[in-house]
Amino acid sequence: MTHLPLGGLSQAAIDELELTLAPVDAWAERRYPGGATTDQPVHTVYVPADRAEAGLCAAWGAEALETLDANAPLPALLAEATGLEIDEVAGAWDLLHAVLAERPIQDLRVDLEDGYGAHPDEVEDEDAARAARVLLAEAAAPGRPMRLGIRHRSLERSTRARAVRTLERVISGLASGGGVPDGFVLTLPKVIDERQVLAYVRLLGALESGYGLAPGSLRFEIQVETPQAILAADGRLPLAPMLDAGEGRITGLHFGTYDYTAAMGVGAAHQRAQHPVAQTAKAVMRLAAAGTGVEVSDGSTNRLPVGDLNEVYGGWRVHADLVGGAIADGVRQGWDLHPAQLVTRHLVNIATSRRKVPDALARLAVYFAATAGGGAQSADDGATLDEPATAQALAADLVRALHLGATTVTEVESRTGVPVATLHAFAARRVA
């Protein structure tokens, strides 16, 4: 907007203001580009490298369907198991079955760290090479994950050499097998200092150079599972400097429920994602990532839906509560460790998204019709006053619903009166 002088303020004063703030503008646009513009996976599935085989995504989906059919073959039974309303489960039923059959895993991580355990070097070498083959096979399979990669050991002194050895074997296998697949991402565990992130960035650059990969093609997520990642020894909150140290390579911050709560002195009987110390850590993660485009993911639950009917239902209820609670807190991704958890992961995401669609469509129709994207307008009933911030959240709900298949492009565009591209842009807009 051009300043129109009234006479008391000189153009020189305006020019000085612009000159002073230009570096701030450039920094803010670079550091806080807005929300993520890509569709965030609903989960990351962790599979130990010694149990990872080509075709594992399809196998997990088939096992999830078998568990569903054996324990809750009707919507009413699944509603009883999960605590969701029968109408919600019935409305999501067909889509749930389709997702489990066609694309059960959205983000796959072959684990060569804690979930993998200790193995002789020659065995881990073989499993690292096999992990590369599995990832290439899954990347080429129908219904491939949106993202896929590995978690290797940490950069702590005791495991650093093994971490680098494993990482290079995986990258070598991918490079010789046709290249790093689209959506490839690494998980860097047990980070305690931004200098580890800086060193990792340099290491990834050296791997790209050494194996002829495009600069910046190796990206990673930081696993937040130590108190030092939340509060540094000098009192700083180190996650924001870690994001800067990542030089644009960081895709997400992932919470490690059990390592973190154990480090905070929480006893085994009380370790859970909803524990107050865990919730505090995830609030800091969301603060650090806000506006950066970096995604935040919850951790896992070790209560699995396996065993007899009561045990399966109990595991599903715990997992459904975890997933639903995280979504309500603004965390749309979490970890899954067993095929049966895919049932509740996808069900809760689909049902929650479907629940939001009618309200979002109605309110955005009024908002965009009246304001063309600016100002504040009441919904039809006059009970809700929407402004850009609430409209942004509504747009994000619809973008998420499209990603999950809970609505269609035709429904969204016809009801809101704007193209889906407008909703994507509005959902990811910079708050400035």
Residues 260 and 375 in one domain: no
Between CA 245 and CA 249 the distance in angstroms is: 9
Query: Is the model's pLDDT at 90 over the cut of 80?
Result: yes
- Among 37-41, 178-182, 370-374, 376-380, the least confident range: 376-380
Q: What is the pLDDT of residues 296-328, one digit of tens each?
A: 999 999 999 999 999 999 999 999 999 999 999
Mean pLDDT to the nearest integer, 348-366? 95
Burial class of residue 23, CB neighbours in 10 A (0-12, 13-18, 19+): exposed
Residues 348 and 362 in one domain: no
- The one-letter amino acid at 196: Q
Mean pLDDT to the nearest integer, 277-297? 96
Residues 95 and 230 in one domain: yes
Domain count, the chain: 2
At residue 352's C-alpha, the angle toward residues 348 and 356, to 5°, is 170
Residue 96 · residue 88 · CB < 8 Å: no
Instruction: Tell whether 199 is covered by a domain.
Output: yes
Question: What's the whole-number average pLDDT of the chain?
Answer: 94
Residues 376 and 232 in one domain: no
Q: What is the pLDDT of residues 115-174, one digit of tens each?
A: 999 999 999 999 999 999 999 999 999 999 999 999 999 999 999 999 999 999 999 999
Smallest CA-to-CA distance from 167 within 213, 118, 218 is with: 218
Residues 321 and 360 in one domain: no
pLDDT recorded at residue 35: 72
Write down how long the chain is.
Answer: 432
pTM, rounded to two decimals: 0.93
pLDDT recorded at residue 371: 73
Instruction: Tell whether 4 is covered by a domain.
Output: no
Residues 365 and 238 in one domain: no
Residue 245 · residue 201 · CB < 8 Å: yes
**Would you state the torsion angle of the CA atoms of residues 116, 117, 121, 127, taken in this order, to the nearest 10 degrees?**
-20
Q: How confident is the model at residue 432 (pLDDT cuts 50, 70, 90)?
A: low
Residue 245 · residue 197 · CB < 8 Å: yes
pLDDT recorded at residue 410: 95
Between CA 161 and CA 375 the distance in angstroms is: 56
Tokens of 302: 């070790």
For residue 366, the enclosing domain spans: 356-427
Question: What are the DSSP calls for 334-350, one per residue?
Answer: EEE-STTHHHHHHHHHH
Query: Is the model's pLDDT at 381 over the cut of 70?
Result: no
C-alpha 210, offset from chain centre: 30
Residues 129 and 173 in one domain: yes
At residue 282's C-alpha, the angle toward residues 278 and 284, to 5°, is 120
Which residue bears the tokens 């646009």?
Answer: 29
Residues 328 and 277 in one domain: yes
